[in-house]
Amino acid sequence: MKILITEFMETKSVELLKKKFDITVDLELSKNHNKLKDLINNFDVLIVRNKTQVNQELLEKASALKFIGRLGVGLDNIDIEYCKKNNIHVQPATGMNADSVAEFVIHSSLSLLKNIPLMHQETLLGNWPRTAIPSRELQDKTIGLLGFGLIAKKVSILAKIFNSNIIAYDPFVDPVVGNEFNTKLVSKKELFESADIISIHLPLSDSTKNLLNYDALKQMLKKPIIINSSRGSIINEKDLLRAYEEKLISGFALDVYEIEPVQQTFLNSIKKNTNCILTPHIAGVTEESNTRVSEFIANMILKFFKL
């Protein structure tokens, strides 16, 4: 049987699969959809991250495909309905990078509360903004989590170490579950009005796309920090920058974008004196999480094929 890997996977896990499968690794295929379409019918297994678009057009060519391994959590780049109808098993690496993302959220919260991006920029310029730029603590701040899945729960656990208050909006979660994590489940409106920091932990869907638009940002009463390590299109990027310029929010950290790689036009619209952190979709990608994610998918493939 044959496996095609189109995005980076930890070497030891690839070697483990090589003992049982014929492996092809071609990272360029994540960007070359037409070439991928021409080759996909030869493979029983496809392993991807988030760049490879596994849509119906591709899947219709994948006559031998039985298993898709997603080296991560989000499945918006995979046509799940088509896979269900055609008996193609889709396996995400659920929970394997949750610790990494949770750490990213806490790190971003601390950095932006203390205005580290502004301090860094001014110090590089030879200035000494020791008192000119304010700095705040995470203690006693209210962190609002949009979504309360595994990653959000891990954020709540870490935030409690700093004596933060945690609230969350998730209509699919029983308030009893929130209580187990010392987290109060609230309405979206209450979260917008009460949070000093808002972190997004939602899948991308029709109902969550552009969830944080200008109208939503105007409802935020405490000039919060916005952190998105989930999916880019949940935030309207133009509205986010407008909200920052109008001082409706006090900073933002983006690890995901409407279009990836992030477009230069968006970067050009961010002023140098902006309290922001921009990273290239790496919140869940650490050396440790890559090992866990890769090992998990490799083992699930071996289990699926009973090898």
Cβ–Cβ < 8 Å for 141, 164: yes
Domains of the chain: 2-96+287-304 (3.40.50.720), 98-278 (3.40.50.720)
Tokens of 163: 């004596």
Checking if the pLDDT of 209 tops 90, the result is yes
Question: Which residue, 120, 98, 138, 105, is CA-closest to 253?
Answer: 105
Checking if the pLDDT of 210 tops 90, the result is yes
Checking if the pLDDT of 22 tops 90, the result is yes
What residues are labeled active site?
Answer: 231, 260, 281
Q: What average pLDDT score do residues 186-213 get?
A: 96
Q: What percent of the chain has pLDDT over 70?
A: 100
**How many whole angstroms from its chain centre is CA 154?**
14
Tens-place pLDDT, residues 80-109: 999 999 999 999 999 999 999 999 999 999
Weakest-pLDDT range from 5-14, 70-79, 146-155, 244-253: 70-79
Q: What average pLDDT score do residues 178-192 get?
A: 97
Tens-place pLDDT, residues 24-52: 999 999 999 999 999 999 999 999 999 99
Q: What average pLDDT score do residues 189-203 get?
A: 97
Confidence of residue 307 (pLDDT cuts 50, 70, 90): confident
- Distance, in Å, from the CA atom of 102 to the CA atom of 216, rounded to the nearest integer, reads 24
Q: What percent of the chain has pLDDT over 90?
A: 98
DSSP 63-81: TT--EEEESSS--TTB-HH
Q: What angle do CA 273, 279, 281 make, to 5 degrees?
A: 150
Q: What average pLDDT score do residues 150-155 get?
A: 98
Confidence of residue 74 (pLDDT cuts 50, 70, 90): confident
pLDDT score of 153: 98
Task: Supply the mean pLDDT for the chain.
Answer: 96
| Neighbour-count burial for 148-159, b at 16+ CB within 10 Å, e otherwise | bbebbbbbbebb
Question: Which residue, 249, 257, 262, 180, is CA-closest to 216?
Answer: 249
